[in-house]
Amino acid sequence: MRLFLKFIGYLFGISVVLGLIAAAGLWIYLNDITKDLPDYTALKDYEPPVMTRVHAADGHLMYEFARERRLFIPIQAIPDRVKQAFLSAEDKNFYEHIGIDPWGIGRAVITNVRNSGSGRRLVGASTITQQVAKNFLLTGEQKYERKIKEALLALRIEQAFTKEEILELYLNEIYLGVGAYGVGAASLILFDKSVHELELEEIAYLAAVPKGPSNYHPYRYRDRAIERRNWVIDRMVENGYVTVQEGIEAKAKPLDVKLRPTGNLVKGSEYFSEAVRRQLAGQYGEEKLYEDGLSVRTSLDPEMQLKARKALRDGLVDFDHKRGKWRGPISTIEITSSDWGAALAKVQTLNDVPEWTSAVVLSVSNQKAVVGLRPKRMANRKLSTERVRADLSLSDMKWARVNGRAPRNVQEVLSPGDVIYVQRQASGKYVLQQVPEVSGAIVAMDPNTGRVVALVGGFSYAESQFNRATQAWRQPGSVFKPFVYAAALDNGYTPSSVVLDAPVEIEQGPGQAPWKPQNYGGKFYGPSTLRTGIELSRNVMTVRLAQDMGMDLVAEYARSFGIDDNMMPVLSMSLGAGETTVMRMTAAYSMMANGGRRVQPTLIDRIQNRYGETIYQNDQLVCTDCSEEYWNNQGEPELIDTREQVLDPMTAYQITSMMEGVVKRGTATSVKAVGRPVAGKTGTTNDERDAWFVGFTPELTVGVFVGYDTPRKMGRGATGGQVAAPIFTAFMKDALKDAPPLEFRVPNGLRLVSINRRTGLRAGAGAPGTILESFKPGTSPPDSYSVIGFQDEIGIRQDLSPEAGRAVMSGTGGLY
């Protein structure tokens, strides 16, 4: 017995020694591990990457910029049922444990021992706190060492943070599939709802996903996802969070996922959104844009944007049909198989032209082609099994010229297997379409603020991301002329001043031939008023006027209006030979429309940071008394307009009135169809390479440009009045159809005097050819004929009678 007791004592002693050695080893091991543990206190200052959200002026979400699609929601704003679902699925003892679950760890160890050598993935029993430690501070490698670090960090996190703070970190960081991080983003992306609007079955699905986002994909593994969702519902019932009946009803419902599309969420806003992204990235940097959760309110009017896109596209397609040719199919596919739908769906086509769809030609005859329309995709992203056919008639494709002539039969245009675009008409029939080779841009702006309400930078953003409204520097042609005339009106000239429209030679220096500017059409018209020069876009008159004033003054006006910051002071620039953008030119015209106040074209109204603090406000008005918290019988606060006056308000009205004449009787009479007061100017560059129209009403300024991306001739007659003005007209009629017409406001002090429109001399009211012309104080119609430029021909300035003026351009020896 004594020997037995000694043996037991011996074993006990050895066990104690071994235990002490093991404890010392464990202490050394843990001490070594803890040296490399991340600093968990950094979680106190943690700001998760949050997506920047861009909204239209009416509040509609336009775009989300993010590397990780996440919306941060404070724990106080997360519904209790959402918390309960995740606790039931992931850690039902969350509020009781100290960061680790010993019983769960024991079960995981036993399971992993059993599975050792089988190649199966290690299982864990991580608590929510451990998952926070792993997601924020550790890697996801499946090793016991990482699990030990995770447990140690969890214990420390529990000591430093409250349970609510830990849960807040978890629910905003967890990955929930389909690119969504956190419950806020996941509820929007998966169900198109805010987290407060979710139903029980939807909440349960979110809580089911963290176990394996790819394993419970709502489309690819639908049955598995529903099974896991129902398991979560059962756990919620078991834990007393929902009633048995609620659980039964929730499990009976389908998994109704409505995946929110990525990209532009406001139709037609692609070019606008990209311009906003560029501005934000330039102003704040890429990291802040994609991770700082900015809330951006833009100036975009979604309805006007769609109308602008439609007007531009219709105009470009119309030009292509009238002047283009058939350039062939998008692609060709084999149609020997009975099911052509799958092959057609693989052909990459434009996804931002909703009026068009792709189709494959199945058969052709002399008078028609039978085409199969692209199959639609169902909610689960699979192709519909329905196959729809349509007929295309020869009469609707006469525009598709081949070898310079209209096709005589369909076979000259289409062949079986061709993939083409078709458009459904209001009548139900389909017609052939093709992407125009010519391109263009349109910008619509509030002239009083510079807020851009619509911007389209091309026919299709999917085809070309190049923004022709903001990035294309093109010659403006005659749309620049109003600024030459504005400079003249600001410096002593009047709308009735007369300039000689006759041949002129401009010396360009030694060894260079003189420049001989020409009018469009090659004719000269003799002495004409400034108004006539604008209305009929006389080139030679404009050159003479610029020569009389000096090009340094004209270049200064171009800089002041933001058209060209470094214009060369040479006379050709007076005809728009420099380069500018549609955005700049539209802003410049806005300054004329608003009475001469400077405006900066802006896309963004306001920017807030993730905390709701306003960090940018687009407001050019100062209000020193608007910050008063209480009303103590003080008067209304006054708004102080700090914008620079770049043009005399009287001059602004005079040039506006002259540009009204462009619409009434000049080069843009088609714009009269808008049916309200409109002022504007056409522009066409040499060889019809660029066509412009920029115009405005008192409440809206619109600039339109049409041209090939690589400048080349568009064809004789492709002028601003014929190509760009119809686009302007279509947009303005649609955009302002519900708004009452407004007259341009006449500034105080201007006098309206009856003059002869052709001679500029005072005339009796009601006489033929009489108009009311505006004159500044101290100016009036001339009593005799004084012709600017006539002195260049005879060496001195002379006063001529009207009869003498007519004689200047008459006879075989006239000044031509």
User: pLDDT tens digits for 518-569?
Assistant: 998 889 999 999 999 999 999 999 999 999 999 999 999 999 999 999 999 9
Of 90, 201, 274, 773, which residue is the catalytic one?
90
Q: Which candidate in 478, 497, 528, 574 is catalytic?
A: 478
Strongest mean pLDDT among 174-183, 472-481, 635-644, 774-783: 472-481
pLDDT given for residue 795 in this prediction: 35
Q: Is the pLDDT of residue 242 over 90?
A: yes
Provide the token pair at 29: 């091991």
* Torsion angles phi and psi, residue 645, rounded to 5: -90, 105
Question: Tens digit of pLDDT for each residue in 464-477?
Answer: 999 999 999 999 99
Q: How confident is the model at residue 422 (pLDDT cuts 50, 70, 90)?
A: very high
Q: Looking at 137-146, 408-417, 529-538, 546-555, which range is the least confident one? A: 137-146
677, two tokens: 């007061």
What pLDDT shows up at residue 2? 67
pLDDT at residue 143 greater than cutoff 70: no
Helices 539-549/481-489 angle, 10° precision? 40
Q: What is the pLDDT of residue 423?
A: 96
CB-facing half-sphere around the CA of 316: CA atoms within 13 A: 26
Confidence of residue 798 (pLDDT cuts 50, 70, 90): very low
**pLDDT mean across residues, the chain:** 88
In order of 35, 777, 792, the CA distances from 492 in angstroms are 83, 11, 20
Torsion angles phi and psi, residue 183, rounded to 5:
-70, -30
pLDDT in tens, 679-707: 999 999 999 999 999 999 999 999 999 99
pLDDT at 121 over 70: no
* Rounded-to-integer distance, Cα 137 and Cα 135, Å: 6
Helix, strand, or coil (residue 416): coil
pLDDT above 50 (res 652): yes
Amino acid identity for residue 665 in this structure: R
Supply the pLDDT for residue 154. Answer: 81
Q: Where are the alpha helices (DSSP H) in 260-388?
A: 270-284, 286-291, 302-323, 341-345
Angstrom distance (rounded) from CA 208 to CA 221: 13
Expressed in angstroms, the distance from the first to the final Cα of the chain is 142
pTM of the model: 0.87
pLDDT of residue 655: 98
Specify the range with the lowest mean pLDDT, choosing from 50-64, 275-289, 779-793: 779-793
pLDDT at 808 over 50: no
The full length of the chain comes to 816
pLDDT > 70: percent of the chain? 88
Q: Rounded mean pLDDT of 69-89?
A: 93
Percent of residues in the chain assigned helix, strand, coil, to nearest 5: 40, 15, 45
Q: Are 570 and 551 in contact (CB under 8 A)?
A: yes
The yes-or-no verdict on residue 815 having pLDDT over 70 is no
pLDDT by residue (tens digit) across 320-372?
Answer: 999 879 999 999 999 877 789 999 999 999 999 999 999 999 999 999 999 99
Q: Mean pLDDT, to the nearest integer, of 382-408?
A: 91
Instruction: Output the six-digit token pair for 732.
Output: 């303005």
| Contacts made by residues 748-754, CB under 8 angstroms, sequence distance 24+ | 749/650, 749/776, 749/777, 750/650, 750/653, 750/654, 750/774, 750/775, 750/776, 751/775, 751/776, 751/777, 751/780, 753/780, 753/781
Tell me: pLDDT of 116 over 50.
yes
Q: In which band, very low, low, confident or very high, does the pLDDT at 797 lie, cut at 50, 70 and 90?
A: very low
pLDDT at residue 643 is higher than 50 = yes
CA 93 to chain centroid, in Å, comes to: 48
> With 60 as the cut, is the pLDDT of residue 807 above it?
no
97-106, 248-257, 295-304: segment of lowest average pLDDT: 97-106
User: Among 86, 99, 105, 95, which Cα is nearest to 40's?
Assistant: 99
Q: What is the mean pLDDT of residues 258-278?
A: 90
Transcribe 336-366 into DSSP letters: -SS--HHHHHTS---SS-TTEEEEEEEEE-S
Q: Annotated catalytic, 90?
A: yes
Query: Within 10 A of 556 (CB to CB), how many other CB atoms are there?
Result: 14
Q: Which residues contact 445 (CB under 8 A, 6 or more apart)?
A: 451, 452, 453, 586, 587, 590, 601, 700, 701, 702, 703
Contacts 24+ apart (CB under 8 A), 89-93: 89/207, 89/208, 89/210, 89/211, 89/232, 89/235, 90/128, 90/131, 90/207, 90/210, 91/127, 91/128, 91/129, 92/235, 92/239, 93/127
Least confident of 41-55, 126-140, 451-465, 480-494: 126-140
Tell me what pLDDT residue 110 has.
76
Residues of the chain with pLDDT > 90: what percent?
A: 67
Q: DSSP string covering 28-62, please?
A: HHHHHHHHT---GGGGGG----B-EEEE-TTS-EE
pLDDT of residue 261: 79
Between 144-160 and 2-35, two packed helices, what is the crossing angle to 10 degrees?
Answer: 70
Could you tell me which of 275, 441, 427, 433 has the C-alpha nearest to residue 354? 433
Strand partners, 369: 364, 392
Distance CA 101, CA 797 (A): 102
Give pLDDT, residue 4.
63
Checking if the pLDDT of 404 tops 90, the result is no
The helix (H) or strand (E) run that includes residue 700 is strand 700-707
Q: Is 478 a catalytic residue?
A: yes
Cα atoms found within 13 Å of the Cα of residue 160, Cβ hemisphere only:
15
Whether the per-residue pLDDT at 803 is higher than 50: the answer is: no
Q: Give the mean model confidence (pLDDT) for residues 177-183.
A: 92
Q: Which amino acid, 2?
A: R
Higher-confidence residue of 536 and 792: namely 536
Residue 104 has pLDDT above 90, yes or no: no
Under the banding of pLDDT at 50, 70 and 90, the label for residue 35 is low
Closest CA relative to residue 236, chosen from 396, 437, 86? 86
Q: pLDDT value at position 800?
A: 40
Nearest-angstrom CA–CA distance, 558 and 541: 19
* Residue the block writes with tokens 């410049």: 588
- Check the CA dihedral 130-136-140-141 and report its sign: negative
pLDDT at position 288 is 94
Give the residue among 396, 386, 449 at the shortest CA–CA distance from 620. 449
**Is the predicted pLDDT of residue 816 greater than 50, yes or no?**
no
What confidence score (pLDDT) does residue 144 get? 60
Using CA atoms, how far apart are residues 400 and 405, in angstroms rounded to an integer?
8
Distances 397 to 192, 435, 439, 738 between C-alpha atoms, Å:
42, 14, 21, 36
Helix 481-489 and helix 582-593, axial crossing angle in degrees, nearest 10: 30
Which tokens sit at 262? 């990525």
Query: Interhelix angle for 302-323 vs 725-735, to 10°?
Result: 150
Residue 612 scores a pLDDT above 60:
yes
